Each structure stands twice: as C-alpha cells, then as structure tokens.
Amino acid sequence: MEKIIKFLDYLDNQKNYSDYTILNYKKDIEEYYEFLKEKKYSFDNMDYKKCVDYLLFLEKKDLKKTSVSRRLSSLRTFYKFLVLNNYVDSNPFLLVSSPKKEKRIPKFINYQGIDEIFNIPNLNTPDGQRERVILEVLYGSGVRVSELVSIKIKDIDFNNRTILIFGKGSKERLVSFGEPALDAIKNYLEDGRKVLLGEINSDYLIVGKEKENLTTRRIEQIINDLIKETSIKMNITPHMFRHTFATHLLDQGCDLIAVQELLGHESLSSTEIYTHVSNEHLREVYMKCHPRNFDKK
C-alpha cells in the first residue's frame, strides 16, 4: 500500500531509524492492515470503538502486554504521519491506552561470565580481533547493537576515548570506553579490519568480509557462536551486554543519573530498573558474607 511505503520511507530518511526498527513498524502495520481487511474497515474511518475491536483482535493472539503496547505505539506514530500529510483528519489511537507494563528485571551476565566470554576470541585472526572489538564496545560503553553497527571511524575520539552515538530518533550522545577497548580497536583497525574488507572501502568500524558493515542479525550470530565456546548455559543476546554494563556500573557505585546519560535514556525511570538488579546482587553478597548469616555447625 502506497501510504505504508511512504511512511517507512519517512522513518528511514527523515527519522533515521535503524533497519530493525523499521522492520518492526512494517510488521505491525501489515498486521493492522490484515485486521482492517478482515473487518472491512479502512484507514480513514477509524474511531475509538474500532480501535477497541483491534485490541480484541490482538487479544485473540495471546500476546504479551509489551507486544500489544509496541503495536499501539507503531499505530500512533503511523497515524501521526497520516495526519501530518492530510491523509486522515485525526489520530484515533491517541484515545487508546496501552496496557500497563510488566516490570521485569533485566537479565545480566556475572563478572565470571564476562571474563570467560572475553577470553574466547582468537586475537591472531581478523574474525577474533573483530569479535573482541564487538565485546569491548557493547560491554564497555553500553551501546545498543543497532548503534554499534552504525559507528563510523570518524565518530571515535581516540584521545578522549569517546564515541559519538546516533541513537533512537537521531539523538546524539557521547559514550566513553576504556583502555582495553582502545587497544582492541587500534589492533583491529591496523590489522584484522583491512583483511576483512579486502578491496572494499568503508567508513564503518564493524565490517564484514568484503562488506561495508554488518547487520544486527549478524552480530547476534557472532555472539551466539562465542557463547557456544563457553560454559555459560543461559541465552545471551547482544542487548544483554547493555544490561550488564548498567548493572556492573551501579554495583561499583556509579551514580544513577550518570548511568542514565551513558545509556541515553530520556527518563530516569527507564534506568531505575537496574537498581533492582544491583540491590538484589548486594543482598546476595550480604547473605553470603555477613557472619550472622553463616550456618551454625
């Protein structure tokens, strides 16, 4: 449908959203379009009652509350675009409230697990050097995987050890990285990256074999392959390194507002979820270490 194509083009060229985000919008709107066809509704005659019908349509799919909220958010954004371009008169999904979020404590990797993962890459190979940079940047700066694949070499300030990140909605922020990451990046740029690129030129930091840069999906595959080489049994995603970054900073006494800035969260409430993880960790340490909690023989 022409309106959907124009909307996706708007997200790509004007909002500068990642391919992954645009794909999710596309899926949500195509699903909505199927609902409209089933009910014989059209984009331009939706009202509150019909929006409720759509919620019932989603309910039959037995989706999580977060999935329902994402679909509603997608449609609010879509209708906002339609209103701005005079395709419709109003945004009916502004009348519909999202389900209350289920607060789930994010999973993270413990210190031992991080050490084990970081010892897997073979730094004598181009792939291993690239893997080490991926790990160092994900864990060392807390960037999203979509932000990682978008990093260009010109965005890196080697003297101050910072990276200019273009986050959600084209919002810029500076993230820091440590000495180990600096060494890994320099080693990779001087050696492995050149081998991987071959005759291809690229501005991007994370490149593939004869490819200008990698997709988020390929990063997921690389992480999966690394985890298979460890003794870790839990399912680890690239985004879990972001959770681990925040949790470990708070464990070490970092200020919550500083973590918020580093993660690029608009609201402090988004960052506060990590305090629950950190507090639970502190409780475990207390229970294991305080002499009054030892079993009396």
Q: Which residues are catalytic?
A: 144, 168, 239, 242, 265, 274
- Rounded Cα distance, 88 and 86, in Å: 5
- For the chain, the straight-line distance linking the first and the last C-alpha, in angstroms and rounded, comes to 73
Q: What is the DSSP string of 42-92?
A: -GGG--HHHHHHHHHHHHTTT--HHHHHHHHHHHHHHHHHHHHTTSSS--G
Q: What 8-state DSSP symbol labels residue 142?
A: -
Give the amino acid at 196. Answer: L
Q: Which residues contact 89 (CB under 8 A, 6 or more apart)?
A: 44, 83
H-run or E-run covering 175: strand 172-176
